[in-house]
Amino acid sequence: MNVLLPWAVHFALACFALAMFLGLLRLLRGPSAEDRILALDAMYIDALLIMLTLGIGFGSGAYFDIALVIALFGFAGSSAMAKFLLRGEVIEP
């Protein structure tokens, strides 16, 4: 099992990096604002998964804390952008 884990971590990191690159392409070329926001959501989820995979590969708990912070900021940013697209303002008077 110890021989297979580094290969699996490297393969997962390559797949997540490819997914992040494809999300970046959609972010830059997206025809609408909704497509760009969905690409940004996919990119922060990919970043979260990369941090979790690195935490498993290095055996360090610090990466899991960083992944939690990425998840919190990503959710707050997604909800703020969705509210802005629906109502035109983020903070209601």
- The Cα–Cα gap between 68 and 66 comes to 5
Q: Strands, E, within 1-93: which ranges?
A: none
- At residue 85, the pLDDT reads 83
Q: How many helices (H) and strands (E) does the chain have?
A: 3, 0
Contact 52, 63 (CB under 8 A): yes
The domains located in the chain, with CATH, are 4-87 (1.10.287)
- At residue 47, the pLDDT reads 94
- At residue 79, the pLDDT reads 86
- At residue 39, the pLDDT reads 92
- At residue 11, the pLDDT reads 97
Return per-residue pLDDT of the chain as tens, 93 residues.
588 999 999 999 999 999 999 999 999 998 988 888 899 999 999 999 999 999 999 999 899 999 999 999 999 988 888 888 888 776 776
- The Cα–Cα gap between 86 and 92 comes to 12
